[in-house]
Chains A and B, each alone.
Chain A
């Protein structure tokens, strides 16, 4: 059935507007009316959406269609939601074609589309392909038309039919039923780490143990030591110890990378946890997210489900350090700006490294530290109590002698240790799931376990002894839960079902910032 083009007829399509990782359905209404040739875009179009007119006009003409010679109005509803990005090109062009009768308006009614137009009519995939598909599904759409190049990425979202089209002509042909939609190739998964092997690290048995515990329990870790002692090397090795991401986690990571512009749409789905290592000069906006207009995800969000490596932690401005506190606690960040409030996930494993004093050589046997003791205290005080409380493992790292550095590997490899880490994680997940009475084993690292649960599992005797120990050592009682979490991880790594005194005592020993230099 064909309907004659009617002046005054309305065409409805659907696009997706994104605010951070939130996707909102946008109704695209297009009408044609007599008047001088003009395209009016209303409904808070962003700069890129306003520029769409030029891309559309050329692409439409180059694809063998004609551009309307009268007045076309397009409204993006809701009109008060800011629309940014180039994903509106495709639905807008389809709307124009439909309202001018070059495409059957009935066929486009309610169609969701997301894609950027090239001047030759080709369709590219903009940032946020996954988010767009998810948003369309949540808005009730059964199908979304996207660029063929990004179809695989969009198809990661279950429950929605993804149609990939290469150019405008193909889009029209598919909609009119003249051509079958092409088959979307499922995106392949890949892993590529393991290049940095733990066996490369010589000596450092205690620091290696701490790294293993951090990986097994998801504990934030701080390595303190002079320059060149291997802090950064160890921190990078921690990444290799983490288990592969689950499929859902990998999609989360891909989605964030896509929004952050860190990922090409045709990249395979990586099962590697991300690792981000911002420079210590990074601003607060770079770390937690921000920027003009709609805040972009920061490094903490880009490291979601992965590792955030902060080298020279104490060189970071105090304000930036304190901004880490909330995300580390809650696993998400809320960035509020004048025109948008965005919530980003940020469940990271923080691996921080720092010198022990301003000159760096405190605790180095090869060189003498020249810092005033009061200056050292001030330097360390930059790490505020609340932030330090969230770092379960604090280890002093010391340089390894040259002879051992040149010698053969003297420690276990990443392969061996990561197997232990995986087993420990399974054990922990099993225990917490049983304790809360869940049938299915969820992924739950010891770091995330509720303090009450960890205490219950440990038993009151163990907890009482721990409180007493901390008191005798002059350490804050706030460390109780942190020590218990680590103690559980130690038990998991050692393959024990019950928490022994040794597990707890070992956990207490990983509080170098509390104990080191005390009473001197």
Chain B
């Protein structure tokens, strides 16, 4: 009896203690409330266990704890460690120096570090520090002078040395831009090139989706932490991000798990997109598009920059046209991208076996020829439904039924500005005028 009462009182006391601590906490990220109750030795042991599951093959869990513990202190960011490393004199091995600079974590940082690591662990995220075997090779080049992240955290497959390109552009994309992005992405991914982008709506998402199932695969560089659902439809269960991981792609982030997609963070993400790849293709973007940041980062990293010409009057053509005037290579077909990759000499890239709708036997094609021809003529521009009805001459009722069948067969894509063929039509090739 007495014992029981004592335990209850003890629990109550503990409860109060927790509440008081909660109120008094400064809202520090990841302050584990029960941490204070664990003996310091035990706390760091538990943290080490979590770190061991989060660390990628060949990465040192202890080093990860040190670096993360350094970065989560107030007014610090992972990039601070890189800058400190860059500015320090003794730097024969910058990768080791980073860990040395981070130092041993203070006992009160252990718990917060564990919460960060646990958040990663729960989502099956792996972490590698710069210089580790599974840290993406292109990013680690010339560290710490280039703005490479001190660590990367990813879901899915680690990024290997395969050739890769970035396809980036506006979130508010036109049907034309989306079609071109998907065309380029699918074609180069079929040639074994990885397609990297920022996972945003619009062009980014179109590129990821198109490359998803092809051999090259795709990698998303998030503009926020792994525990944040952004953009919401993509992060939803069975959404784009889950599909990327399921198809052997990568969901990569340099952020702490709960980092919100603030403008600065999202923009900083663009430099990683550029650093990961051999060439960057800008499809659409406004005057102040983030795609321009990716392009300038690409120039800093020494990557090739290509731009897809657009409609001269469309607001979404501002960014690519500016890049073209500044000397970016025009990109008018997947071949242009592959030529650039081959020209770099770093990779052997197979010529693309053009994936067009002629892969689909004409006899199994769902769309009637009359409808097909109108869409093929316009491709990659979309056709409005009403115009399609008039131009094809197919009766409205029949047309609507056909469209449903073609959607099911995957022959069509559609956006707010109309319907278009999902793939480049073989019969007509508007991008190559004789």
Given A398-B386, A469-B408, A494-B397, the answer on whether A520 and B205 have CB atoms closer than 8 Å is: yes
Residues 494-520 of A contacting B (Cβ, < 8 Å):
494, 501-503, 505-506, 508-510, 515-520
Residues 23-72 of B contacting A (Cβ, < 8 Å):
none
Q: Which residue of A lies closest to B230 (CB)?
A: A374
**CB proximity of B44 to chain A, nearest CB, Å:** 42
Residues 162-212 of B contacting A (Cβ, < 8 Å):
171-173, 178, 201-202, 205-206, 209
Residues 455-471 of A contacting B (Cβ, < 8 Å):
469
Q: A520 to B400, Cβ gap below 8 A?
A: no
Q: Which residue of A lies closest to B384 (CB)?
A: A398
Compute how far the CA of A506 lies from the CA of B417 in the bound complex, rounded to whole angstroms: 20
Task: Tell me, yes or no, whether B288 is within 8 Å of chain A by CB.
Answer: no
Given A205-B386, A205-B390, A473-B408, the answer on whether A505 and B416 have CB atoms closer than 8 Å is: no
Interface size on A, residues (CB 8 A): 40
A372 to chain B: which residues have CB within 8 Å? 171-172
Q: A509 to B403, Cβ gap below 8 A?
A: yes
**CB proximity of A464 to chain B, nearest CB, Å:** 14
| A199-220 contact mask (Cβ, 8 Å, vs B): 1 or 0 | 0000111111100000000000
Q: A206 to B389, Cβ gap below 8 A?
A: yes
Task: Tell me, yes or no, whether B348 is within 8 Å of chain A by CB.
Answer: no
Q: A363 to B416, Cβ gap below 8 A?
A: yes
Q: B400 to A365, Cβ gap below 8 A?
A: no
Task: Tell me, yes or no, whether A356 is within 8 Å of chain B by CB.
Answer: yes
**CB proximity of A292 to chain B, nearest CB, Å:** 43
Compute how far the CA of A469 lies from the CA of B405 in the bound complex, rounded to whole angstroms: 8
Q: A509 to B401, Cβ gap below 8 A?
A: yes
B413 to chain A: which residues have CB within 8 Å? 519-520
Given A502-B397, A509-B400, the answer on whether A520 and B178 have CB atoms closer than 8 Å is: yes
**CB proximity of B15 to chain A, nearest CB, Å:** 40
B209, B397, B399: which has the most chain A beta carbons within 10 Å?
A: B397
Residues 389-407 of A contacting B (Cβ, < 8 Å):
396, 398, 400
Task: Tell me, yes or no, whether B107 is within 8 Å of chain A by CB.
Answer: no
B205, B390, B408: which has the most chain A beta carbons within 10 Å?
A: B408
Task: Tell me, yes or no, whether A377 is within 8 Å of chain B by CB.
Answer: yes
**CB proximity of B205 to chain A, nearest CB, Å:** 7
Q: Which residue of B lies closest to A400 (CB)?
A: B386
Residues 373-404 of B contacting A (Cβ, < 8 Å):
384-386, 389-390, 396-404
Task: Tell me, yes or no, whether A362 is within 8 Å of chain B by CB.
Answer: yes
Q: B400 to A373, Cβ gap below 8 A?
A: no
B407 to chain A: which residues have CB within 8 Å? 473, 515
Cβ 8 A contact of A520, one of B206, B385, B398, B408: B206
Task: Tell me, yes or no, whether A490 is within 8 Å of chain B by CB.
Answer: yes
Task: Tell me, yes or no, whether A439 is within 8 Å of chain B by CB.
Answer: no
Q: A516 to B416, Cβ gap below 8 A?
A: yes
Given A398-B385, A398-B386, A519-B413, the answer on whether A506 and B400 have CB atoms closer than 8 Å is: yes
Task: Tell me, yes or no, whether B156 is within 8 Å of chain A by CB.
Answer: no
B315, B398, B404, B407: which has the most chain A beta carbons within 10 Å?
A: B404
Q: B384 to A365, Cβ gap below 8 A?
A: yes
Task: Tell me, yes or no, whether B414 is within 8 Å of chain A by CB.
Answer: yes
| A358-379 contact mask (Cβ, 8 Å, vs B): 1 or 0 | 0000110100110111100100
Secondary structure at the B interface, as helix, strand, loop or mixed, is helix
Task: Tell me, yes or no, whether B415 is within 8 Å of chain A by CB.
Answer: yes
Task: Tell me, yes or no, whether A452 is within 8 Å of chain B by CB.
Answer: no
Q: B386 to A206, Cβ gap below 8 A?
A: yes
Task: Tell me, yes or no, whether A472 is within 8 Å of chain B by CB.
Answer: yes
Residues 200-230 of B contacting A (Cβ, < 8 Å):
201-202, 205-206, 209
Given A365-B384, A519-B209, the answer on whether A506 and B397 have CB atoms closer than 8 Å is: yes
Q: B401 to A506, Cβ gap below 8 A?
A: yes
Compute how far the CA of A371 lies from the CA of B315 in the bound complex, rounded to whole angstroms: 13
B390 to chain A: which residues have CB within 8 Å? 203, 205
**CB proximity of A423 to chain B, nearest CB, Å:** 16
Interface size on B, residues (CB 8 A): 36
Compute how far the CA of A396 lies from the CA of B417 in the bound complex, rounded to whole angstroms: 10
Given A205-B390, A520-B206, the answer on whether A505 and B414 have CB atoms closer than 8 Å is: no
Q: Which residue of A lies closest to B200 (CB)?
A: A373
Given A209-B396, A365-B384, A519-B413, the answer on whether A373 and B401 have CB atoms closer than 8 Å is: no
Cβ 8 A contact of B416, one of A207, A374, A494, A517: A517
**CB proximity of A224 to chain B, nearest CB, Å:** 10
A509 to chain B: which residues have CB within 8 Å? 400-401, 403-404
Q: Which residue of B lies closest to A518 (CB)?
A: B414
Q: Which residue of A lies closest to B413 (CB)?
A: A519
Compute how far the CA of A494 lies from the CA of B396 in the bound complex, rounded to whole angstroms: 12
Q: B315 to A373, Cβ gap below 8 A?
A: no
Residues 142-175 of A contacting B (Cβ, < 8 Å):
none
Given A398-B386, A473-B407, A515-B407, the answer on whether A209 and B173 have CB atoms closer than 8 Å is: no
Q: Which residue of A lies closest to B203 (CB)?
A: A520
B232 to chain A: which residues have CB within 8 Å? 374
B399 to chain A: which residues have CB within 8 Å? 206
Task: Tell me, yes or no, whether B233 is within 8 Å of chain A by CB.
Answer: yes
Cβ 8 A contact of A365, one of B397, B405, B414, B417: B417
Q: Which residue of B lies closest to A207 (CB)?
A: B386
Q: Which residue of A lies closest to B174 (CB)?
A: A368
Q: A206 to B404, Cβ gap below 8 A?
A: no
Cβ 8 A contact of B415, one of A469, A501, A502, A520: A520
Q: Which residue of A lies closest to B313 (CB)?
A: A368
Q: Which residue of B lies closest to A395 (CB)?
A: B385
Q: B384 to A369, Cβ gap below 8 A?
A: no
Compute how far the CA of A207 lies from the CA of B396 in the bound complex, rounded to whole angstroms: 10
Cβ 8 A contact of B400, one of A204, A398, A469, A510: A510
A377 to chain B: which residues have CB within 8 Å? 233
B386, B389, B408: which has the most chain A beta carbons within 10 Å?
A: B386
Compute how far the CA of A204 lies from the CA of B387 in the bound complex, rounded to whole angstroms: 9
Compute how far the CA of A499 lies from the CA of B417 in the bound complex, rounded to whole angstroms: 32
Given A374-B231, A516-B416, A519-B209, the answer on whether A206 and B400 have CB atoms closer than 8 Å is: yes
Q: A508 to B231, Cβ gap below 8 A?
A: no
Compute how far the CA of A356 lies from the CA of B416 in the bound complex, rounded to whole angstroms: 9
A208 to chain B: which residues have CB within 8 Å? 396
Q: Which residue of B lies closest to A397 (CB)?
A: B386
**CB proximity of B406 to chain A, nearest CB, Å:** 10
B231 to chain A: which residues have CB within 8 Å? 374
Compute how far the CA of A501 lies from the CA of B399 in the bound complex, rounded to whole angstroms: 13
**CB proximity of B385 to chain A, nearest CB, Å:** 6
B384 to chain A: which residues have CB within 8 Å? 365, 398
Compute how far the CA of A373 lies from the CA of B170 in the bound complex, rounded to whole angstroms: 10
| B230-258 contact mask (Cβ, 8 Å, vs A): 1 or 0 | 01110000000000000000000000000
Q: A373 to B202, Cβ gap below 8 A?
A: yes
**CB proximity of B236 to chain A, nearest CB, Å:** 12
Q: B397 to A490, Cβ gap below 8 A?
A: yes
Q: B315 to A506, Cβ gap below 8 A?
A: no
Which 9 residue pairs are nearest across A and B when measured between Cβ atoms?
Answer: A505-B401, A509-B400, A505-B404, A502-B401, A506-B401, A363-B416, A506-B400, A508-B404, A373-B201
Given A362-B416, A372-B172, A516-B415, 9 other A-B residues pairs in contact with their CB atoms under 8 A: A205-B386, A356-B416, A365-B417, A374-B201, A505-B404, A506-B404, A508-B404, A510-B400, A520-B413
- Interface residues, chain B, with chain A CB atoms under 8 Å away: 171-173, 178, 201-202, 205-206, 209, 231-233, 314-315, 384-386, 389-390, 396-405, 407-408, 413-417
Contact sample, A vs B, 7 pairs, CB 8 Å cutoff: A363-B417, A373-B202, A396-B385, A400-B386, A506-B397, A506-B398, A509-B403
